Every structure is written in C-alpha cells, then in structure tokens.
Amino acid sequence: MLLLVDPDPAAHELLQNSLSRPGRTVQNVHDPREALNRLREAHCDVVIAAAATNGNDPLQFLRRVRSIRPDARVIVTGEINAQRVVSAIRARAYSYFHKPVSETAMSDMVEHALEANSWKDDIRVISGRPEWITLDIRCKLDAVERSAQFVRELQSDLMSQAREDIAGAFRELLMNGIEHGGKSDPRKHVRASILRVSRAVIVHMHDPGEGFSLEALPHAAICNPEGAPTKHVEIRAEHGQRPGGFGILMTRNLVDELVYNERGNSVTFVKYIH
C-alpha cells in the first residue's frame, strides 16, 4: 500500500495516476492524524508526506510514522531548503523532493523504495552544514539513486541544468566507487563531501578500493582505442560486468574540472555556477 499525505488536493491529483499500478493500493489522505490512524490499522510500504503537514517540526510526522511502522519508506515533499534535506536524511527519510514534484521522478523513486531491502542506514550524515555536507554511503547499488536525489535537492536553488549536471556526475562517480572500489560490499562505505562556495560546487569522493589507473581501464569507454568506440562493451561482457562503462566519460562532459588522486580511489570535481 502507498499512502499519500498532503493537504493540497492538487498534489493528490498530480500523483494519483502516475503512482497507480495493477494490484497496488494508493490511499489519499489530507490530514496527518488520519494518516497515522490508518498506519496503526494496516501495513504500508511507502508514505509520501508533504512537509507542510508536520506542524512546527517539518519532520515530526516522519518520526511518528517511523514509531508506528518502522519499515515504511517515507518520501518527504517540501520546500527548497538544504538544511531540511539534511534533517530528512538524518531522520531516515527514504527521499526528499521539493514542490512542484516531478511525476516521473517520484514514480521512479517509489519503485526503488518498493524494491529496497535493509535501506535505513545506507546513507548517513557526517557533516550537515549547508556549505559543507559529508555523506557516508554504504556500498550498495540500491543507495545510488537515493543519494543522487538528495544531492539534487541540496543544490535545488541552482538553475535546473547545473543541478542535473551535478547530480548526474555524482551518480556516475558514486556508482563507480560502490561497484569497483567497494565491490558492492555492504560492509564498506564511500565517503562523499559536497562543498558550496560562492561560484562553484565542489564534490570530493573517496572509495574503499585499492584504486586504479586512468590509463588502464579496458572496461571503460574512456580507454577505448581510436576507431573502436564500443570495445569496452565487449570486454565488460567477457567479464560478466553489467552494461555501462561510460561513467568517467560522461562525468567529464557534465563538470568543469575532474581530478583523481595518484592512487585512483579519490576523485574531485568542480562545477562552476553563476
């Protein structure tokens, strides 16, 4: 069951159709007290809760849901506010979206939430100052889309293209760090810092792997020989790796500066903003 809690009828109208699926129940509730009563009566997989319904504390409702249904994934919707996003992560929100919400993005996140297992401690806040946010991310591919969405929201005051470029670059590098550095071992973590200065966003990421050489990545598109733009696809197939290998190449096209350390297990990118 999905529970959509929002005092705004337009929000229900917007999301109802995109979230509905055969065999899935979507309940629409306008009052948070009624929502809590329904949660006491029946199991719920995902709760989409507007921050405005939470009274003086915008995350109070989330915490009350957690006390009633600890396993429910709560996706918070609210205003553009980096500090609120940090608070949502700390309160173990599954995700955060500012309004107006994209139907497609929300629908995709709900699908991720329904498929997720043991997700509660996958993303932890180490530093929560808006100008310097550090996240500890468990080496699970399940954590990638959630982390990228949180980063997107942390930069939601920027122009949409810059915001998407930063989130996209973060996503690609995090996936590499989890899959190649951490070997998708959930006992390991990637440490990511997002720094906001006056004219740039700087992201630093460190994975637990032994590192690599940019000149010796036969499974990556960045190292394809001239005249063989898909050679890495063949190599990945031979080694049983998932389709892909475009991460570093894509990231270079999304950001202004991309630098790896000598060992190859730490990377920094810079996106200039105006």
pLDDT in tens, 55-75: 545 578 888 999 999 999 999
Domain with CATH 3.40.50.2300 in the chain: 1-117
110 has a pLDDT exceeding 50: yes
Dist. CA 199–CA 94, nearest whole Å = 30
Q: 258 near 274, Cβ under 8 Å?
A: no
Span 33-43, average pLDDT: 91
Predicted TM-score (pTM) of the model is 0.85
- Residue 220: phi, psi to the nearest 5? -115, 145
- 228 pLDDT tier (thresholds 50, 70, 90): very low
CATH class held by domain 121-274: alpha beta
Q: Which fold has domain 1-117?
A: Rossmann fold (3.40.50)
The pLDDT, as a whole number, for residue 18 is 83
